């Protein structure tokens, strides 16, 4: 199952309805993803952008009283596949020759939006069963319309691939993405021979493909989002003359994600050289379909592991990789500094809380996505903490201000400094926790609620971006009814 949690006191083996509603139909090997009516030639019929929620996601804001732990948590939590790995495997499969399979893919909203976008352009994407997706690449063609909803990943990964389509492919998404950093990537695509039309420098935009992309050398400032580099690299092997990308600007945010892109390109058989800092060279050459085994999402696992520390309990995550290039890899070292005892075994990863949380002084530049959860651990610690290296996290200013406001409302003290935050533990009380519709803040609010009664999240539906059934998994971990 894509995501499940079992308490030692109450085992729940039933798949929740939320998991079934992520957009993948798990019926038979050729069951299509429901992205709209198909035309007579089997290609999806283009349709206008869909708006099913106030900001592009299907779900409206949903207030949620965070459960308080009545005892130490003892649970086994199976988290879904990595969202980052799933996205890259989908794009590589789309530019390969022959079918590819994704074992244990993420069914996060981002992943579903990406898969639907590829299918809209002509790829066959279906679910073999609950644990496997099948992608059969086909010649891409327009006209087609792709709604990226609120997915910045889809917004940056799909347009370069649309350059291979024979015909126009238009893109649009939620209002929140209209001002997102995209112009440097679009300018680079034009230099590579892709025709792009946009009136604003971002969404909405149209890529008018001619079935091939010349490729070449480009220089861009990707400091706004490292996904601009990854989006180009993933399409690069299929460019006529390959690709050289040079980053010229401030240090890249979330460099570990580019490292993951490079590692997966190599695993797919691409020739890529990243020995020169901020330069990536991809050789032209066909990739062939393969089987991808998607690792557990280390980021999605973080709030559940944090629950073990907050309650002095124990949480086991099956299938934790012994070696990984995923961005969440340094997490265990930091949890140990907070006071956890982490053990890897054939069964997976087990994290035990020591009963007392300790303050830390840590560089979290490779763990920026986990800043809110880490900050909550710091707010519950026995001494002050300093979390450094935050500036490279996507949306860092908004994330830090949201974190400071949410914890401050409940009595916490978060001080913003040049490249991080200082957290001074104080007595906390219940109240509203504004998630700003950010799944990272929602995860943090849930962790805080374990120790502080009366915490009410302003919205929990945003967690579907990474975990389609987060509320259900959280309650099953605690052994409480939904």
Structure tokens at 313: 């309990």
Residue count of the chain: 482
Q: How many CB atoms lie within 10 A of CB 250?
A: 12
Q: In a 3-state reduction of DSSP, which class is residue 120? A: helix
The owner of tokens 């909405």 is 204
Q: Is 6 a catalytic residue?
A: no
Q: Hey, which bits of 199-257 come out as E strands? A: 205-210, 216-220, 243-247
State the DSSP string of 296-309.
B-HHHHHHHHHHHH
Catalytic position from the list 6, 149, 281, 369: 369
Q: In a 3-state reduction of DSSP, which class is residue 402? A: helix
Give residues with Cβ within 8 angstroms of 36, minimum separation 6: 44, 45, 47, 120
Q: How many CB atoms lie within 10 A of CB 190?
A: 13
Q: In a 3-state reduction of DSSP, which class is residue 154? A: helix
Q: Which of 306, 273, 269, 301 is nearest to 288 (CA)?
A: 269
> Residue 87 to residues 155, 159, 173, 425, 482: CA-CA distances in angstroms?
12, 14, 18, 38, 30
Measured CA to CA, the distance from residue 344 to residue 300 in angstroms comes to 18
The owner of tokens 């006191």 is 9
Measured CA to CA, the distance from residue 375 to residue 415 in angstroms comes to 11
Q: How many CB atoms lie within 10 A of CB 383?
A: 12
Q: In a 3-state reduction of DSSP, which class is residue 447? A: helix
- Rounded to 10 degrees, the C-alpha dihedral 406/305/395/151 comes to -110
Element (H, E) at 333: helix 331-338
Q: Which of 268, 269, 221 is nearest to 245 (CA)?
A: 221
- Rounded to 10 degrees, the C-alpha dihedral 111/106/136/91 comes to 50
Residues annotated as catalytic (active site), given as ranges: 369
């Amino acid at each position: 199952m894509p995501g499940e949690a079992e308490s030692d006191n109450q085992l729940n083996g039933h798949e929740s309805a939320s998991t079934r509603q992520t957009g993948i139909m798990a019926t038979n090997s050729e069951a299509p993803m429901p992205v709209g009516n198909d035309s007579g030639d089997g290609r999806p019929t283009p349709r206008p952008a869909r708006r099913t929620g106030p900001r592009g996601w299907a779900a409206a804001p949903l207030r949620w009283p965070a459960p308080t732990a009545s005892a130490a948590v003892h649970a086994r939590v199976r988290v879904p596949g990595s969202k980052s790995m799933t996205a890259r495997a989908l794009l590589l499969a789309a530019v390969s020759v022959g079918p590819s399979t994704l074992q244990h893919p993420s069914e996060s909203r981002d992943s579903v939006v990406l898969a639907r976008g590829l299918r809209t352009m002509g790829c066959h994407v279906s679910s073999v069963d609950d644990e496997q997706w099948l992608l059969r690449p086909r010649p891409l063609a327009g006209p087609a319309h792709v709604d990226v909803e609120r997915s910045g990943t889809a917004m940056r990964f799909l347009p370069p691939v649309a350059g291979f389509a024979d015909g126009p492919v238009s893109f649009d998404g939620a209002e929140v993405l209209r001002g997102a950093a995209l112009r440097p990537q679009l300018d680079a695509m034009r230099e590579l021979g892709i025709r792009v039309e946009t009136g604003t420098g971002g969404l909405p935009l149209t890529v008018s493909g001619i079935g091939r992309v010349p490729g070449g050398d480009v220089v861009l400032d990707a400091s706004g989002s490292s996904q601009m580099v990854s989006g180009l690299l993933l399409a690069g092997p299929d460019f006529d003359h390959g690709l050289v990308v040079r980053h010229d600007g401030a240090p890249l945010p979330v460099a570990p994600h580019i490292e993951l892109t490079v590692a997966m390109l190599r695993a797919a058989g691409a020739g890529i050289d990243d020995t020169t800092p901020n330069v990536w060279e991809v050789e032209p050459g066909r990739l062939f379909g393969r089987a991808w085994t998607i690792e557990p999402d280390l980021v999605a696992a973080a709030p559940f592991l944090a629950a073990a520390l907050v309650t002095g309990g124990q949480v086991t995550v099956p299938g934790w990789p012994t070696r990984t290039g995923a961005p969440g890899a340094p997490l265990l070292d930091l949890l140990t500094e907070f006071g956890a005892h982490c053990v890897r075994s054939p069964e997976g990863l087990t994290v035990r809380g020591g009963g007392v949380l300790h303050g830390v002084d840590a560089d979290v530049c490779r763990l920026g996505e986990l800043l809110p959860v880490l900050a909550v651990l710091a707010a519950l610690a026995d001494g002050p903490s300093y979390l450094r290296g935050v500036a490279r996290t996507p949306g860092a200013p908004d994330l830090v201000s949201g974190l400071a406001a949410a914890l401050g409302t409940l009595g916490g003290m978060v001080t913003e400094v040049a490249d991080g935050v200082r957290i001074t533990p104080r007595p906390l009380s219940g109240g509203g926790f504004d998630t700003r519709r950010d799944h990272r803040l929602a995860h943090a609010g849930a962790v805080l609620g374990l120790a502080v009664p009366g915490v009410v999240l302003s919205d929990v539906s945003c967690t579907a971006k990474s975990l389609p059934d987060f509320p259900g998994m959280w309650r099953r971990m605690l052994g409480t009814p939904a």
